Amino acid sequence: MKLFNSSFKAFVFGVLCLGLTSPAFATSDSDNNIQNAISIGNLNSGQVLTLTGDVTTTDDLEDFRKFELKGTSNVRLNEEKIAPNGGRTDLVWIRDANNNQRIDAGETIGNSRDSFSHQITRKNLPAGTYYIIVRNRQLNSNKVQYQVTVNAKV
Ligand SMILES: [Ca+2]
Ligand SMILES: [Ca+2]
C-alpha cells in the first residue's frame, strides 16, 4: 500500500509538472525561411490583403509570407495580435530586389522590433516580390496569434 501510495503521488506530481510546463504549440507549418515563404497573392494599388498565423518560441519561431506588387504603390503593413494570445513580435519587411530568394544587404525595407503591434508605411514601392517575417519575441513558450494587413490604398 505504501508503495502504491508513493507511486501514485509521483504520478500526480508528474501530471502537475506536465500541466505547468507543457509548451503552447503553434499551428504546424513549413514557412520558416524565405525559400518556403507562403504566398498571400498579388497586390495592386488599392487592394488590401490580410494574413493570419501564430508563432511560439518553442516550435515555430518565425513565419515567412510573400506577396507580389504589380505596380508602383504606397504600402502599409499593420500587425496586431488576436486575443487572447497577444504578445510581442518582430515584424520585418523585405524587398527581394535581385530575385535570388535571399535577404541581401539593403533589401530590408522595414524592421519593427519587440512590440505588441507594428505599423510600417513605405511610399512609391516598385513592382516586385516582397517578404513579411513575423518573429516571436516572448521569452516564454506562449503562442502569439497575429494578423497582418497589407494595404496598398495608402
Ligand atoms: Ca513558421
Ligand atoms: Ca535578394
Provide, rounded to the nearest whole percent, the portion of the chain with pLDDT above 90: 66
| Ligand nearest the Cα atom of residue 28 | 1
- Residue type at position 150: V
| Ligand nearest the Cα atom of residue 35 | 2
pLDDT at 24 (0 to 100):
75
For ligand 2, the distance from its centroid to the CA atom of residue 34, given in whole angstroms, is: 10
For ligand 2, the distance from its centroid to the CA atom of residue 134, given in whole angstroms, is: 18
Q: How confident is the model at residue 17 (pLDDT cuts 50, 70, 90)?
A: very low
For ligand 1, the distance from its centroid to the CA atom of residue 132, given in whole angstroms, is: 12
pLDDT at 19 (0 to 100):
47
Query: Could you give the domains of the chain?
Result: 25-151 (2.60.120.380)
CA distance 122 to 111: 12
Strand order in the sheet with 118-125: 48-55, 144-151, 73-81, 118-125
For residue 35, CA distances in Å to 59, 69, 89, 97, 148 come to 19, 18, 21, 15, 20
For ligand 2, the distance from its centroid to the CA atom of residue 104, given in whole angstroms, is: 5
pLDDT in tens, 30-84: 899 999 999 999 998 888 999 999 999 888 999 999 999 999 999 999 999 887 7
| Ligand nearest the Cα atom of residue 101 | 2
| Ligand nearest the Cα atom of residue 96 | 2
For ligand 1, the distance from its centroid to the CA atom of residue 33, given in whole angstroms, is: 8
pLDDT in tens, 96-140: 999 999 999 999 999 999 999 999 999 999 999 999 999 999 877
